[in-house]
A and B are shown apart, each in its own frame.
Chain A
Amino acid sequence: MHNRLIQLNADYAAAIDDDRLEDWPGFFAADCLYRVTTRANYRRGLPAGLIYADSRDMLADRVLSLRKANVYEMQSYRHLVGVPRVLRADPQGGLKAATSFLVMRIDRQGGTDVFATGQYLDEIGADGDGLRFKVRDVVCDSSRIDTLLALPL
């Protein structure tokens, strides 16, 4: 199971880093919760997110908007995702896991900067042909976002 979880995270990161954003919603259950927040908000239990999507369709909408509507300079990410720490595994195959990430952002001029570090706090379930995120709470360590957050973390 641990290997499948590592594979899931690796595939997830590759979809974003390889600019296959259209594949990204497929890593989530249909009634998922995907939120990007910060540690300061998380610790105080504040619910709002930089991104707050409570359905897979909302994730697909975000990708469509990034492709068709939003204006941002060409950029890409490189995700370095740590080894998942399984917090709980229930007999039905559900998992809770916490996984560190480091995301570098490469900008149009070629600069490469640390864009975000943090933890994925996940609830994962077996869903049809594979594992999918029921909840992916992306908790960034810093309260600060440089310029904008276009591509998902």
Chain B
Amino acid sequence: MAATIDTGLAGPAAAWPVGVYDKAPYWLFQREDVLRAEQERIFQGRVWNYLVLEAEIPRPGDFKTTFAGSMPVVVTRDQDGEIYAFENRCAHRGALIVLDDYGNAAEHTCVYHAWRYDCQGRLRGVAFEHGVRGKGGMPAGFCREEHGPRKLRVTVFCGLVFGSLHDEVAPIEEYLGEEVCERLERVLAGRPVEVIGHFTQTLPNNWKLYAENVRDTYHASLLHTFFTTFGITRLTQEGGVLVSEDGGNHASASYSRVLEGEESAYASQAIRSDNGELRIADLSMLESTDEFGDGIVLQILSVFPGFVLQQIHNCIAVRQILPTAVDSTDLNWVYLGFADDTPERRRMRLKQSNLVGPAGFVSMEDGAVGGFVQRGIAAAGELSSVIELGGHDTQSQDHRVTESSIRGFWRAYRTHMSL
């Protein structure tokens, strides 16, 4: 079905034989027609797009604006307590209905011609529908129920609100896969979260380069040298990566060798900075507790197409990957705490947040490295990357010296794109 993308190039799709996941041709990161096809087949296709956190819209009438790919979306909580999502596009002439990032409102009125919508996105009022003093107005056959922005199916899992524009999307548990569900529940189940900060990072690269980066367990210790430079020894010798059956979702983890033990002992053992001349002066930033009680100090989890949950020690964040152009991506970070955090635990999260985000000691490089690829491949549209570490398949691995989860991404990508 590759031919359904009008390539404009002589058979580039043929250079990506069916069933190949250990290479990705660079034209995928460069072409407008690919980006348009992704919007239609992925973001509006049979996927669950992460939209917002339930905690961001706790009360009836609360709303937040977000995106499903490039589609602007409003997510609301109606008076019935249920969450709804609809395209942020007036049925009349296409203007944005909601202009605020978040708020509380019983209904939403488009500023252009005052068409009015309820919290479920149903058209409730049309200005001058019956004209003025018997003149003008909508024609006799006009029916409000026939007009409205597109509605998304909504599902909530562990406080994460997902939306889909496809009628045949699998139930969320099935979509995530049993193991990824468990890894999500491990961090988020049964504990009300609180947003402690949110930032947007503009990445100078195609969204898929970040989707690869997140699934890339190979680069972590090679690109991000903060820990090794300062000789910070961590009890993180073991790890693994699991990949969902369809390839699209993954969770990678690093385990502490000490799986049990008293928390303060864990904290003091976990941190040692002894690289002679180069020493971290204030180690308090690296103090952490084993709050999940399983010794996993780092877990990165992704859900196709654009969701990431990160647990790095006690620094918990969700990231939303949104394409804004062929070579530009918005990465929305939401840093989380839990409602039952002690002040000490909360402070620990705030200090550890120095590790992540656009200025993070162990993540700032990710903001730039996608751009290095985007620039590096400028004249290499017909060539491909090499994604062969750990073999050619997309299986789960009990180590991280593999690019299995990146291959998994491409497998899911090809399935959704019919490519």
Tell whether A41 pairs with B368 under 8 Å between CB atoms, given A50-B359, A51-B354, A145-B202: no
Interface residues on A, range: 35 or more
- Of chain A, the residue at the smallest CB distance from B354 is A52
Cα distance A60–B197 when bound, in Å?
24
Taking a contact as CB atoms under 8 Å apart, the answer to whether B350 and A146 are in contact is no
Cα distance A73–B101 when bound, in Å?
33
Taking a contact as CB atoms under 8 Å apart, the answer to whether A61 and B226 are in contact is no
- Of chain B, the residue at the smallest CB distance from A68 is B229
Tell whether A57 pairs with B282 under 8 Å between CB atoms, given A50-B358, A145-B358: yes
Which A45-60 residues sit within 8 Å CB-CB of chain B? 46-55, 57-58, 60
B230 within 8 A of A: yes
Cα distance A50–B356 when bound, in Å?
8
B2 within 8 A of A: no
Cα distance A38–B201 when bound, in Å?
12
B223 within 8 A of A: yes
Checking B101, B225, B281 against A61 with a beta-carbon cut-off of 8 angstroms, the contacting residue is: B281
Taking a contact as CB atoms under 8 Å apart, the answer to whether A148 and B223 are in contact is no
B278 within 8 A of A: yes
Residues of A within 8 A of B69 (CB): none
Residues of A within 8 A of B349 (CB): 48
Checking B202, B203, B282, B350 against A52 with a beta-carbon cut-off of 8 angstroms, the contacting residue is: B350
Which B184-230 residues sit within 8 Å CB-CB of chain A? 195-204, 223, 225-226, 229-230
- Of chain A, the residue at the smallest CB distance from B359 is A149
Taking a contact as CB atoms under 8 Å apart, the answer to whether B361 and A145 are in contact is no
Cα distance A150–B359 when bound, in Å?
6
Digitize B323-362: 1 where CB-to-A-CB distance is under 8 Å, 0 elsewhere: 0000000000001000000000010011101100111010
Taking a contact as CB atoms under 8 Å apart, the answer to whether B199 and A61 are in contact is no
Q: Using a Cβ cutoff of 8 Å, how many contacts connect chains A and B?
A: 117
- Of chain A, the residue at the smallest CB distance from B330 is A144
Checking B200, B203, B351 against A54 with a beta-carbon cut-off of 8 angstroms, the contacting residue is: B351
Taking a contact as CB atoms under 8 Å apart, the answer to whether A72 and B350 are in contact is no
B381 to chain A, nearest CB (A): 22
Cα distance A103–B195 when bound, in Å?
28
Residues of A within 8 A of B278 (CB): 64, 68
Among A51, A70, A146, which residue has the most Cβ atoms of chain B within 10 A?
Answer: A70
A92 within 8 A of B: no
A69 within 8 A of B: yes
Taking a contact as CB atoms under 8 Å apart, the answer to whether A46 and B350 are in contact is no
A33 to chain B, nearest CB (A): 10
Digitize A12-53: 1 where CB-to-B-CB distance is under 8 Å, 0 elsewhere: 000000000000000000000000111011000011111111
Which B341-395 residues sit within 8 Å CB-CB of chain A? 346, 349-351, 353-354, 357-359, 361, 364-365, 367-369, 371
Residue numbers of B with Cβ under 8 A of A are 101, 195-204, 223, 225-226, 229-230, 278, 280-282, 284-285, 335, 346, 349-351, 353-354, 357-359, 361, 364-365, 367-369, 371
